A and B are shown apart, each in its own frame.
Chain A
Amino acid sequence: MQSAQRLDGNPCRPRHFKPPPPCAPVVPDERANQVLETCRTRLVATAALFAVVFLVVVLRLADVVLLSGGNAESHIGRLPPAAPPPPARADIVDRNGALLATMLPKPSLFVNSKALLAAGQDPNQAAAELAAVLPGKSPAEIRARLVSGKSFAYLQRSLTPHLQYAVNRLGIPGVDFTPEERRFYPLGDLAAHVVGYCGIDNEGLAGVERGLDATVRGGHEPVELSLDARVQYILREELMKVIGDFSAKGAAGIIMDVRTGEIIAMVSLPDFDPNHPGDAEANEPSADAKERIFNKITLGDYEMGSAFKIFNTAMALDAGTATMTKSYDAINPIQIGRFTITDYHGKHRILSVPEIFTYSSNIGSARMAMEAGAERQRGFLARLGLLKPVPIEFDELSKPHYPAQWREVNVITIAYGHGIAVSPLHVATAVSAVVNGGILHRPTVLKLPPGANPPGERVISEKTSAEMRKLMRLVVEYGTAKLAAAPGYVVGGKTGTAEKNLGGHYQEKKLLSDFVAVFPMHDPRYLVLTLVDEPHGTKQSFGYATAGWTVAPATSRIIQRIAPILGVAPVDEASPAVTQALTIEGLQGKRIESY
């Protein structure tokens, strides 16, 4: 009884426990008592633990519900930022951030005919409304699809945002869009050859789109090009003018930062609209489309003519076989084999090196090259990178054509830019090295950070570079490119006019006129190379189609227009700073005979 009573008051007592009948004698059991005591203690401890935990939960709940909930805001940062899904291809922008290529949603419009009919829409009225919005679709055509009974029928592919908005505004049930993306080039044909274009599956097929396909495909950050859309426009406009003025077949131009090798503008005309590369995608593109897609700057290889005298003179001066005061016999034409080397602007007298360069004497240049020798000439051209494709971010690169065996006749013709065909990009890169103090930079279409000093390779001495700058200035001051002068910008350069070599024969009437200019010559910043393919002389040019009359005046206009954009301040051309940098010591007092 005693034990039962004790059990009664014990919370451990099971509910069904019944005290033993009083008749039975209860023997006090010390052992059982002990067990019950332990059990009780444990139970209390556990209950207390649960109570504490429960209270904590309750307190937290009270905190969240009744109070502000503590530091919930601090978790915002853990959320991923709201961003649209990454585009299939990254944007391409110019050096100022103007979009050159981007992905645009180009949804396709389809109709679910079942839903349309189920919604009780009048198909005639809907067709009329849609036809008013969609260009080039007749109401009957649209109506046929609206009542087809199919759950999916395209009405129009690749809608513009404006069209999508217009269709949405009609609010016709059952008409919907499929999300699709297409590559879009907002500036159209402006930088077509540099940016390139994409195929229907968004794979890069030309230009940067192809050359940097992996970067553009993977990256989410825009690809920044070194191009400047404004400069590109000016170059393109002036070249189009040259084509128009001289009824030429084509033209091309490149503007390069001589200190870094960045390409600021690159134009090849005729060009194409990368939004509609059209025929180019077909398996057998037409000749015209091929011509348009062809990038003359990187893929073309031309005999650049007298512009090569820059390299010839730099080679002779750098090797020390010629000096600025040395003279060469240019009285009589050179006979070698079946060739006769004559001068276009013949002086028929002994000419000094500056005169040879300024009057573009073939005979003098040939004599300088013969003196230096074949090995030196070949080695020098190789050092300037003129004998291998240019390392740049394009796939469309030309392989230079040059003689396998460097004979004496090759030495002579290469001296004035015949018998070797390179791309204009080769020439621009090499001339940049000649004028910038002698450092050959890798050309690039990618923007370098401002003030960057990319690594380069020394190809000529500082002194030779300074002498070449003086010589190139003479050409514009007194020589074949007087029309290229742009007052204040101290232009220097070298003209080149080559007869085109078609099928092994030089065509006298088919010229390639090119001009490579650098400004400002006393402290070179930018190089402008322009060339025009098969120009025809006009009344204004007195029948001439040579570089001095075609691309040189265009270069003057280009430089005057782009210099303010590129931040080149005009200087007083007669100021001591300029004249000191460009005076030829041995020639002081002597006057270059005006041609």
Chain B
Amino acid sequence: MIRIASLFWLALVALSGFATFKVKYTVQDIEEELNKARKQTIAEQQEIHVLRAEWTALNQPERLAELNRRVLSLAAITPKQLQHRIEDIPLRPMPEPAEPLIAAAPAPDPAALGRVPVDVHPGSDPASPAAATPANARSDADTVVAVAPVPKPAVANLQLISSAEAAPSVAAPAVLKPAPARLEARPQLAKIRSAQQPRSLDRLIDEIAGSR
């Protein structure tokens, strides 16, 4: 009986001794791994620090100005370009679901705004760059003209957009003279006109007139 008990305890001692060593070595391994990871973290943090310094050096305003001069030729913002705050610009009205064709018109290219006169007649020159946009290529673009009998509100809108867009050479006079045969409209313009309900359009004009 005693023998069996002793054997049991002995086995337990041996087992626990083995387990202790196993744990110790495992912990040692993990600690080594941890130290390695910490060292690498520190090395990488230092590298990030060096890179930050380099980033700042590369972002020297003098260097950026020189790069701008060579590559982008951007000019400083003039006060004229900041005449309207973002909250002053009215939201584009929601397109009406009844007119899927117009609603599907692509977002206007800001570069084209105010410069490219668009002939919305079905017989327009297909080679003209604006004619390539789907809204104008469709032969029923006539409806766009039809739902826009009053050019005045559109002009008011347009002025607002162009001054907000701040294209320095907005061809405003050209836009101000919409001839019936050759309406100088653009996708953006057509959309605003047609999608706008008459009442809210009036309110918009009032708002614009009031803010002036």
Given A190-B61, A230-B61, do A99 and B79 touch, yes or no (CB 8 Å)? no
Asked if B78 is at the interface of the complex by the 8 Å CB criterion, the answer is yes
Asked if A39 is at the interface of the complex by the 8 Å CB criterion, the answer is no
**CA A567 – CA B16 in complex, angstroms?**
71
The reply to whether B60 and A58 form a contact with Cβ atoms under 8 Å apart is no
Within 8 A of A (CB), among B158-183: none
A82 touches which of B20, B41, B85 (Cβ 8 Å) = B41
List 7 tightest A-B contacts by C-beta distance, closest first.
Answer: A488-B79, A233-B61, A186-B56, A570-B79, A82-B38, A61-B19, A186-B57
The reply to whether A487 and B79 form a contact with Cβ atoms under 8 Å apart is yes
A10 to chain B, nearest CB (A): 12
A–B Cβ pairs within 8 angstroms, 28 of them: A54-B12, A58-B16, A61-B23, A64-B23, A65-B19, A65-B22, A65-B23, A82-B42, A82-B45, A84-B42, A102-B52, A102-B53, A104-B49, A104-B50, A161-B54, A186-B54, A186-B60, A190-B61, A230-B61, A233-B65, A237-B65, A486-B79, A487-B80, A488-B79, A560-B76, A560-B79, A569-B85, A570-B83
Minimal Cβ-Cβ distance residue in B for A189: B62
Asked if B7 is at the interface of the complex by the 8 Å CB criterion, the answer is no
Known A84-B49, A187-B57; further 7 A-B contacts with Cβ < 8 A: A58-B12, A61-B20, A104-B50, A105-B50, A187-B61, A190-B62, A488-B83
A67 to chain B, nearest CB (A): 12
Minimal Cβ-Cβ distance residue in B for A570: B79
Q: Contact mask B70-94 → A, CB, 8 Å, 1/0?
A: 0000001111101101000000000
Minimal Cβ-Cβ distance residue in A for B34: A79
The reply to whether A64 and B19 form a contact with Cβ atoms under 8 Å apart is yes
Given A58-B15, A62-B19, A83-B45, do A161 and B50 touch, yes or no (CB 8 Å)? yes
Q: Contact mask A50-63 → B, CB, 8 Å, 1/0?
A: 01001001100110
Q: Contact mask B7-33 → A, CB, 8 Å, 1/0?
A: 001001001100110110000000000
**CA A347 – CA B179 in complex, angstroms?**
58
Kindly list chain A residues whose C-beta atoms are within 8 Å of the C-beta of B61. 187, 190, 229-230, 232-234
Minimal Cβ-Cβ distance residue in A for B43: A84
The reply to whether A560 and B49 form a contact with Cβ atoms under 8 Å apart is no
**CA A129 – CA B62 in complex, angstroms?**
35
Asked if B139 is at the interface of the complex by the 8 Å CB criterion, the answer is no
Number of inter-chain CB pairs below 8 Å: 89
A164 to chain B, nearest CB (A): 10
Kindly list chain A residues whose C-beta atoms are within 8 Å of the C-beta of B56. 98-99, 186-187
Kindly list chain A residues whose C-beta atoms are within 8 Å of the C-beta of B78. 560
Minimal Cβ-Cβ distance residue in B for A98: B56
Asked if B133 is at the interface of the complex by the 8 Å CB criterion, the answer is no
Given A104-B53, A233-B61, do A569 and B42 touch, yes or no (CB 8 Å)? no
Minimal Cβ-Cβ distance residue in B for A101: B53
The reply to whether A187 and B60 form a contact with Cβ atoms under 8 Å apart is yes
B51 to chain A, nearest CB (A): 9
Kindly list chain A residues whose C-beta atoms are within 8 Å of the C-beta of B12. 54, 58
The reply to whether B82 and A488 form a contact with Cβ atoms under 8 Å apart is yes
A interface residues, tally (CB under 8 Å): 40
Asked if A561 is at the interface of the complex by the 8 Å CB criterion, the answer is yes
**CA A161 – CA B48 in complex, angstroms?**
12
Asked if A489 is at the interface of the complex by the 8 Å CB criterion, the answer is yes
Kindly list chain B residues whose C-beta atoms are within 8 Å of the C-beta of A564. 77, 82
Chain B interface size range: 35 or more
The reply to whether A186 and B23 form a contact with Cβ atoms under 8 Å apart is no
B56 to chain A, nearest CB (A): 4
Residues of chain A at the chain B interface (Cβ within 8 Å): 11, 51, 54, 57-58, 61-62, 64-65, 79, 82-84, 98-99, 102, 104-105, 161, 184, 186-188, 190, 229-230, 232-234, 237, 486-489, 560-561, 563-564, 569-570
A159 to chain B, nearest CB (A): 12
The reply to whether B50 and A188 form a contact with Cβ atoms under 8 Å apart is no
A534 to chain B, nearest CB (A): 25
Kindly list chain A residues whose C-beta atoms are within 8 Å of the C-beta of B42. 82-84
B60 touches which of A51, A82, A190 (Cβ 8 Å) = A190
**CA A83 – CA B38 in complex, angstroms?**
8
Max chain A Cβ within 10 angstroms of own Cβ: one of B16, B42, B56, B83 = B56
Kindly list chain B residues whose C-beta atoms are within 8 Å of the C-beta of A57. 16
Kindly list chain A residues whose C-beta atoms are within 8 Å of the C-beta of B68. none
Minimal Cβ-Cβ distance residue in B for A486: B79
Max chain B Cβ within 10 angstroms of own Cβ: one of A82, A84, A486 = A82
Q: Contact mask B84-108 → A, CB, 8 Å, 1/0?
A: 0100000000000000000000000
Asked if B143 is at the interface of the complex by the 8 Å CB criterion, the answer is no
Max chain B Cβ within 10 angstroms of own Cβ: one of A61, A190, A487, A488 = A61
The reply to whether B53 and A186 form a contact with Cβ atoms under 8 Å apart is yes
**CA A99 – CA B38 in complex, angstroms?**
26
Minimal Cβ-Cβ distance residue in A for B2: A11
B86 to chain A, nearest CB (A): 10
Kindly list chain A residues whose C-beta atoms are within 8 Å of the C-beta of B37. 82
B16 touches which of A61, A234, A486, A563 (Cβ 8 Å) = A61
Kindly list chain A residues whose C-beta atoms are within 8 Å of the C-beta of B76. 560-561
B2 to chain A, nearest CB (A): 8
Kindly list chain B residues whose C-beta atoms are within 8 Å of the C-beta of A79. 34
Kindly list chain B residues whose C-beta atoms are within 8 Å of the C-beta of A488. 79-80, 82-83
Kindly list chain A residues whose C-beta atoms are within 8 Å of the C-beta of B59. 98
**CA A484 – CA B5 in complex, angstroms?**
103
The reply to whether A233 and B62 form a contact with Cβ atoms under 8 Å apart is yes
